[in-house]
Amino acid sequence: MNDPQRHFLRHALATVAYRGRKAIADAPDGFAGFRGGDASRSPGEILAHIGDLFDWALSLVQGAQAWHDSSPLDWPLEVTRFFDVLTAFDDYLASDHPLAAPAERLLQGPLADALTHVGQLTLLRRLAGAPIRGENYYAADIAAGRVGSDQAVPTREW
The CATH number linked to 120 is 1.20.120.450
Q: Does 150 map to a domain?
A: no
For residue 108, the one-letter residue type is Q
Q: Does 25 map to a domain?
A: yes
DSSP 25: T
Q: Does 101 map to a domain?
A: yes
Give me the number of domains the chain comprises: 1
Contact 94, 1 (CB under 8 A): yes
Q: Please indicate, yes or no, whether the overall pTM of this predicted structure exceeds 0.95.
A: yes
Range of the domain at 102: 4-132
DSSP 146: -
Q: Does 105 map to a domain?
A: yes
Q: CA angle 60-7-11, nearest 5°?
A: 90
Q: Does 21 map to a domain?
A: yes
Q: Does 77 map to a domain?
A: yes
Instruction: List alpha helices for 37-150, DSSP H.
Output: 43-61, 75-94, 103-106, 112-127
What is the rounded distance in angstroms from the CA atom of residue 97 to the CA atom of residue 90? 12
Which segments in the chain show pLDDT lower than 70? Answer: 1
Q: Does 153 map to a domain?
A: no
CA 76 to chain centre: 15
Q: Is 73 left (phi over 0), alpha (psi -120 to 50) or beta?
A: beta
Q: Does 156 map to a domain?
A: no
